[in-house]
Amino acid sequence: MTYRKTVRQGNALPRLGELELALLEALWSTPEQSAASLQRRAGRSSLSTIQSTLERLFRKALVHRRKQGHAYVYSAAMGRPELLGRLLGGVIRQLHTGSLDPILSSFVDFADRIDGDTLERLDELVQQRRQARLAGDEPC
Amino acid sequence: MLTLAASMLLCFLLLWLLFGALSCAVYPLVRNTMRSIDPAQASVLLLGWIALPVGIAGLTCAVLYSPDVSALLVAGHCHLGSCRQHGPQSAGAILPAALLLVWTALRLCNGLRSQWLPARRLGRELAAVGRCRGDYLELDTPEAAAFTVGWWNPRVFITAGLRAACSPRELDCIVLHERGHRRRRDNVRLLVARLLGQPLPHCWSQLMLEDLKLCCEQASDQFAARAVAPEEVAAALLQVARLQGRGARPGVLAFTGSHIERRVRALLDAPASPLPGEWVFACVSAAVLFTLAIVNPLHRALEMIP
């Protein structure tokens, strides 16, 4: 099963690009901003890039907008903790199903189950080695 | 010119697939040796083993279609009165070469599309929401997890749940282990291995890929064990396994056989010694000699294609 398939099935949060996340960060720190003021803050991107990125965020229902004069004013549709929770929830779900295995190295694979007895036995072994090392380290 | 290019391509792709199938079939015979030597060396040798089919295919084609070299290896013969040195050519190679090229290109593109891009995207997303804690980024979730994402500049992520449940010493072991992955570029190593196995059915190369992953994990365990005691790394492994086991969702997880026990035992036992350099040299020499030995029969076989 590919990562892409699982994302479609399991992660309700749409994928976010670097600039999309940067704009959301800007809207969380200062709500109600126009594309022009966001562009001044982002600096490196042109106004049209900012406008199209905001349009994408609006279509993903991640920002609200209202008309003010000739321009739209944008605000984040959800707070940072909620977005973080949804994003990380999706990642953890995929870690559990093992669909992220091909693209990351886990300290311990979630799919790698070990029964309680083996865990206890290995624990004892580790303790024995620890004690043996400490005894060996002690000066005669 | 088209006939020559198609013949060359067909020869290369057929040899790649053939030797790929052969390397998968023979791997169980060398598996025990791979698992008994130093994991850092084993990961290099295993990647070499996985890359061997494409390497031999490339070398064979280079020799086969290089007039100067093939003159030394191919018995002289003439075609329609022309006796000059030549690479084997067949007009019938164009269609199969095109089909095989499309198949291989699609498989490789699919491999890149499903791994390279998602990892970059995931790394960027998590980096944007993670909190920098020096060597790693902390993810604000109560679940216990630690992992490295990214190819050239991988980043280490540790969840707040894991940080809260582990002692500072265990956390040090985890960070050192993940730093080992980063330094050894294990993610790139695994990506290359998976891509090289793409033209073959996944189940054929699965055993080698699983072993390569285990070798990378063990090599990173050893990396961490050089800075702290091996027992501490083993204890950290057991602690994380215990925490992740608690968070397991019944019905979602499949039992795939535990690598944890093998990793813990490898840390507690005496370190495995590397394969002597002479052995590695002998294996590489055998591969080169094998390549040279098949040039003549292969030349004849390819010329028999209508």
The ipTM estimated for the assembled molecules is 0.70
Which residue of chain A is at minimal alpha-carbon distance from B130? A84
Give me the CATH number covering residue A55. 1.10.10.10
Q: How many Å apart are CA B147 and CA B161, to the nearest integer?
A: 13
Q: Which of A103, A106, A112 sits opposite B258 (nearest CB)?
A: A112
Contact state of B253 with A96 under an 8 Å Cβ cutoff: yes
| Chain B partners within 8 Å of A105 (Cβ) | 147-148, 154, 178, 181, 186-187, 190, 216-217, 220
Q: Tell me if A85 is assigned to some domain.
A: no
Q: Tell me if B85 is assigned to some domain.
A: no
pLDDT of B151? 87
Q: Tell me if B84 is assigned to some domain.
A: no
* Number of structural domains in chain B: 1
Q: Tell me if A91 is assigned to some domain.
A: no
Band (pLDDT 50/70/90 cuts) for residue A9 is: very low
Contact state of B147 with A106 under an 8 Å Cβ cutoff: yes
Contact state of B139 with A85 under an 8 Å Cβ cutoff: no
Contact state of A107 with B178 under an 8 Å Cβ cutoff: yes
Of B223, B197, B225, B229, which is closest to residue B210 (Cα–Cα)?
B197
User: What does each of the 306 residues of chain B score in pLDDT, given as a tens digit?
Assistant: 788 888 889 889 999 999 999 999 999 999 998 888 999 999 999 999 999 999 999 988 888 888 777 777 777 777 666 666 677 777 777 888 899 999 999 999 988 888 888 888 888 888 878 888 888 999 888 888 888 988 888 889 999 989 999 999 999 999 999 999 989 999 899 999 999 988 888 888 889 999 999 999 999 999 999 999 899 999 999 998 888 876 544 433 333 346 888 899 999 888 888 888 888 899 889 988 988 888 888 887 777 766
pLDDT of B246? 63
Q: Looking at the structure, tell me whether residues A71 and A17 fall in a common domain.
A: yes
Of B180, B176, B121, which is closest to residue B150 (Cα–Cα)?
B121
pLDDT of A90? 81
| pTM (two decimals) | 0.79
pLDDT of A138? 53
Which DSSP string corresponds to A61-117?
TSEEEEEETTEEEEEESS-HHHHHHHHHHHHHHHHHHTTTGGGEEESS-TT----HH
The pLDDT tens digits of the residues spanning A35-73 come to 998 888 877 788 899 999 999 999 988 999 999 888 899
Q: Looking at the structure, tell me whether residues A69 and A24 fall in a common domain.
A: yes
Domain that holds residue B152: 2-76+91-303
Q: Tell me if A40 is assigned to some domain.
A: yes
Band (pLDDT 50/70/90 cuts) for residue A10 is: very low
Domain that holds residue A126: 97-135
Q: How many Å apart are CA B232 and CA A126, to the nearest integer?
A: 8
Domain end among A47, A76, A105: A76
Band (pLDDT 50/70/90 cuts) for residue A11 is: very low
The pLDDT tens digits of the residues spanning A76-128 come to 998 888 888 888 888 888 877 777 877 788 878 776 777 788 888 888 999 98
Contact state of A109 with B259 under an 8 Å Cβ cutoff: yes
pLDDT of B247? 53
pLDDT of B50? 93
Residue B51 is encoded by which pair of tokens? 């890359």
| Chain A partners within 8 Å of B245 (Cβ) | 113-114, 119
Q: What are phi and psi of B21, to 5 degrees?
A: -60, -40
| Chain B partners within 8 Å of A84 (Cβ) | 129, 140
A30 to chain B nearest CA, in Å?
Answer: 17
Q: Looking at the structure, tell me whether residues A64 and A119 fall in a common domain.
A: no
CA-based diameter of chain A, in Å? Answer: 85
pLDDT of B46? 93
Q: Tell me if B169 is assigned to some domain.
A: yes
Q: Tell me if B23 is assigned to some domain.
A: yes
pLDDT of B224? 92
Exposed, middle or buried by CB within 10 Å (0-12, 13-18, 19+), for B278?
A: exposed
